[in-house]
Amino acid sequence: MGASILDDLLMNIPDSSFPRVIIIGGGFAGVRLAKTLGNKDAQVVLLDKHNYHTFQPLLYQVSSSGLEPDSIAYPLRKILKKHKNSFFRLAEVKQINAEKNEVETSIGKLNYDYLVIATGTKTNFFGNTEVKANSMPMKNVPQALNIRSLILQNFEKAAIADTKEEQQAYLNFVIVGAGPTGVELSGAIAELKNHILPSEYHDLDSNDMKIHLLEGADRVLPPMSEHASKKAEEFLKDLGVQVHCNTLVEHYDGKTVTTNSDLELQSETLIWAAGVTGAPIEGLKAEALLEKVNRYKVNKFNQVEGYDNIFAIGDIALMETENYPKGHPQVAQPAIQQGKLLGKNLLKLVNNQLMEPFKYNDKGSMATIGRNKAVVDLKHYKFSGAFAWFVWMFVHLMSLVGFRNRVVTFFNWTYNYINFDKAARLIIRPFKK
């Protein structure tokens, strides 16, 4: 079942007596799968348009100057370096040709025996092209760095603004979407307001800085418990964040935010954290993709509907079960668990053994709002406050890939906690007045 000579020439992947498993995407699901298959009876080819894995739950800390990107990113080749039968190629997959068992990429074509789609999600603007053109999404490291630069640039512009109205627009920050990302980012920006602005921007009044969190549902953190939502909103208001529930953004031209209510805001910064949609790849049968959510329909073994040797895992996969009729939540744990089990199942397939069905083990959910402020939902326990914050820090610290990343992140968190400082306040994109 090995590779063809033509493949070798196209992408310089050596021939192998083992079946080739192509993994598209180096997120939580793809990396977990690659690690499970490492040095086993399979040749692994991992494809991604970036050469690093991103720990997305901490992207907001890059956006808000709490961490540098190298604290939450890890080279994919370093993950695979001890796996002699695993290869990484920096490439964007353009199309899948299932009839030929082939993927077409930006650097050539490659045949597979088994294909695993782990492309995750992309920002969902719900068809609002005006908001898409003028807002700032936060799904990857470059976008997070853009947000960081924008926030700091707007502080600088506010300091030299000609009018009070112009200054206010630079100091108005609007975050759309009160899920974990929006809540955590709002809290982090509020800490910039409360600790950095008063100490370093003496020519600005920190009371003029406003943070507005807009949510279409009737409460913040809709996926979490009522207890978590209530406590999170309390924490946000304590930090000075203005929370607007049942509020949808209808227009944003880069200056004015209009909503479905009478709320209208003048702001130079709108950060969109209101939802995601799947990132599918062209080429598979129409019935394999649920277009409304852009997720591949998979069975209990993560096989894409209509295919025996094509699988989807993580956020891009939708597996209907009794407990999750709309698919598993698009968070890290289902992706990691699916990647691990699929690795074992592919090895069983190679050895003509029966595969094991996937069963999600929900380990709970959590969100942090700021210093000593977090909420945690476990199966039988729900708690908040300082203890929840320490639990959140420990879980995220231990989940980072690489010992160095854990050490650097721990040092930064400790420094920030002691000094009420965010050390990564660097503007890295061109400044325009």
Just list the catalytic residues. Answer: 184
Is residue 116 within a helix (H) or strand (E), and if so which, with residue range? strand 114-117
Integer Cα distance of 89 and 83 in angstroms: 15
Residue 172 CA to residue 208 CA, distance in Å, equals 8
Distances (CA, A) of 123 to 33, 47, 131, 304, 365: 24, 21, 12, 23, 21
Q: What angle do CA 236, 148, 120 make, to 5 degrees?
A: 85
Torsion sign over Cα 10, 14, 19, 20: negative
CB hemisphere CA count around 91 (13 angstroms): 22
Residue 348 CA to residue 352 CA, distance in Å, equals 6
Could you tell me the two tokens for 49? Answer: 């348009």
- Distance from C-alpha of 1 to C-alpha of 346, rounded to nearest angstrom: 14
Q: Is 16 helix (H, G, I), strand (E, B) or coil?
A: coil
Are 59 and 147 contacting, i.e. CB atoms less than 8 angstroms apart? Answer: no
**367 near 183, Cβ under 8 Å?**
yes
Q: Give the integer Cα–Cα distance in Å for 197 and 205.
A: 8
Most distant CA atoms of the chain, gap in Å: 73
